[in-house]
Amino acid sequence: MDSTAAATEHGAPNGALPTPAEVERAEQPRLARRLGVGGNVLITLSSISPASSVFILGGAALASYGTGVFWAFIIAGVVSILIAFCYGELASAYPVSGGDYSLVTRALGPAFGVATFFVSLVSLPLILAVFGLGVADYLGVAIAGLSPLGTALVVVALATVTACFNIRTNAWLTGVFLFIEFAALGLLAVLGFIHIERSPAALLSPEFLDPSTNAMAPLAIGGLLLAVTQGIFAYNGYGGAVYFSEETKNATRSIAKAVILSCVITVVAEVVPLSAILLGASSLPALFGDALPVESFLAENAGDTVSLIVLIAIALAIINAIIAIALQAGRLLYTAARDNALPRALSRPLSRVTSGSRVPVVATATMGAIALLACFIPLDVLLTATGSTVAFSYLFIALAALMNHRRKAAEGAYRMPLFPLPPIVAIVVIAGIILSAVLDQAQWLSLSISLGIVAAGFLYYYAYLRPRSGTHLVLLDAEDEETTDAAASVTDTHSTGHRA
């Protein structure tokens, strides 16, 4: 296959001569399909980190919303699965790397896609920094005197280097860490279920510890809705499977499985241990009144030595999440650069893939460097800056799924059940989350930052990309496995010839 034919097959419109940029792009090494559904799920679950979600977000929810966490996390699980349906259908229709950015651009339009790219471009490195700064809190139980900043810098740097390895190697590595993480969750569940202190019926009436009276009181509907929001954030990350669409075998048929399976496993992995804690705690008022409810339950029922081991396991889970998110961040920047969504001087190096391991090393290292710089930002500022970004990402995905469903699906592509219920429910829920942020003055700064990021994305598209539509934001067509393998073979042949 000559370069003109290759470029036509991989992005140039039928019957049109490819541009020099498209010819160059076709001759470059490409991502290789080396992951099965299981490998994709391992990396995706690692980025979610259900164990750290239970200890951090679940613990905060227990302290604020009491037994309301049971219903709230179940409702949040249903909403999350509906959103996963949206991701699954979009990813099946457009099995291209780049995550939310690639899906929204193709289904909802380039302006919304670039806005989504800006959200991910900012949030992913900041989330890496947040996770990195949190590692010392858990490793500190075994190694006294750890500096949060120093620990974060070391962990993020090592995770970035690891993310530059072969994708299959990373799947195995994250899988080992994930096994340790799920063992910690399993221990929490066992401790709760073998020390049951109350009937499961006690979970059906949401109650919380009223700080004004220091007594249990019914949880209002408003409080339950806030707890649902907390649950949605605790489950966030299953859409990360989409970042590896071009590296997952038979993606048109399998990528939806990876997304939905990751979501279902996450919901179960978080609801079960939280329910066990609620049933097995010796005193609910004491549990909800503790600053760290999950840790206190663990110490009470397992002792100091086991608690120490579990907390170290949580530190490993956070490190595992950093590796997985670094993998996603690199593919986001690589895809945008390959699409020429960035200035040409940046797109050239960032769109390179190593010929052997097929990894976007420059893009991955760049996002890692941004995360390292973000580690110097105070943690509360990082949390504020990332607090509302998930809501906008989910909103754009739901709108994209609603608009895309009318298009004819490829043979074997996934089609969501109950359409249009999943995207409509998702839009209503996310709109409610945004509205609650508008009504809560404490959330105004976070919401304003997210709106500013979205606005910057729209401005960048209309001011820079749209006037250059002939040469910039040129999207690859979604490719099947055979096409990608053929392109990879051509690239390898060309590379061998050049070396010879």
- Three-state SS for the chain is CCHHHHHHHCCCCCCCCCCHHHHHHHHCCCCCCCECHHHHHHHHHHHHCHHHHHHHHHHHHHHHHCCHHHHHHHHHHHHHHHHHHHHHHHHHHCCCCCCHHHHHHHHHCHHHHHHHHHHHHHHHHHHHHHHHHHHHHHHCCCCCCCCHHHHHHHHHHHHHHHHCCCHHHHHHHHHHHHHHHHHHHHHHHHHHHCCCCCCHHHHCCCEEEECCCCEEEECCHHHHHHHHHHHHHHHCCHHHHHHHHHHECCHHHHHHHHHHHHHHHHHHHHHHHHHHHHHHCCCHHHHHHCCCHHHHHHHHHHHHHHHHHHHHHHHHHHHHHHHHHHHHHHHHHHHHHHCCCCCHHHHHHHCCCCCCCCCCHHHHHHHHHHHHHHCCCCHHHHHHHHCCHHHHHHHHHHHHHHHHCCCCCCCCCCCCCCCCHHHHHHHHHHHHHHHHHHHCHHHHHHHHHHHHHHHHHHHHHHHHHHHHCCCCCCCCCCCCHHHHHHHHHHHHHHHHHHHC
13: CB partners within 8 A, 6+ apart? none
Q: What is the model's pLDDT at position 186?
A: 97
Calculate the average pLDDT of the chain: 90
Distance of alpha carbon 34 from alpha carbon 171, whole angstroms: 10
Distance of alpha carbon 391 from alpha carbon 171, whole angstroms: 28
> pLDDT tens for residues 237-248?
999 999 999 999
- 33-469: CATH architecture: Up-down Bundle (1.20)
> pLDDT tens for residues 108-141?
999 999 999 999 999 999 999 999 999 999 998 8
Amino acid at 349: P
Q: What is the model's pLDDT at position 479?
A: 54
Q: What is the model's pLDDT at position 21?
A: 54
Residue 490 confidence (pLDDT) above 80 = no
Bigger pLDDT: 478 or 339? Answer: 339
- Average pLDDT over every residue of 381-397: 95
Q: What is the model's pLDDT at position 307?
A: 94
Residue 426 and residue 79 in contact, taking contact as beta carbons nearer than 8 Å: yes
Residue 193 confidence (pLDDT) above 90 = yes
Q: What is the model's pLDDT at position 25?
A: 56
Q: What is the model's pLDDT at position 227?
A: 95
- The pLDDT confidence band at residue 336, using thresholds 50, 70 and 90, is very high
Q: What is the model's pLDDT at position 411?
A: 77
- The pLDDT confidence band at residue 286, using thresholds 50, 70 and 90, is very high
The region of weakest confidence among 150-159, 274-283, 353-362, 475-484 is 475-484
Percent of all residues in the chain with a pLDDT value above 70, rounded to a whole number = 90
Q: What is the model's pLDDT at position 29?
A: 73
> pLDDT tens for residues 5-41?
444 444 444 445 555 555 555 556 789 899 999 999 9
Q: What is the model's pLDDT at position 2?
A: 43
Residue 402 confidence (pLDDT) above 90 = yes
* Segments making up each domain of the chain, as ranges: 33-469
> pLDDT tens for residues 427-476?
999 999 999 999 999 999 999 999 999 999 999 999 999 999 989 999 98
pTM metric for this prediction: 0.90
Q: What is the model's pLDDT at position 5?
A: 42
Residue 99 confidence (pLDDT) above 50 = yes
Residue 480 confidence (pLDDT) above 60 = no
The region of weakest confidence among 150-164, 212-226, 445-459 is 212-226
- The pLDDT confidence band at residue 408, using thresholds 50, 70 and 90, is confident
Nearest to 375 by CA among 161, 158, 174, 157: 157
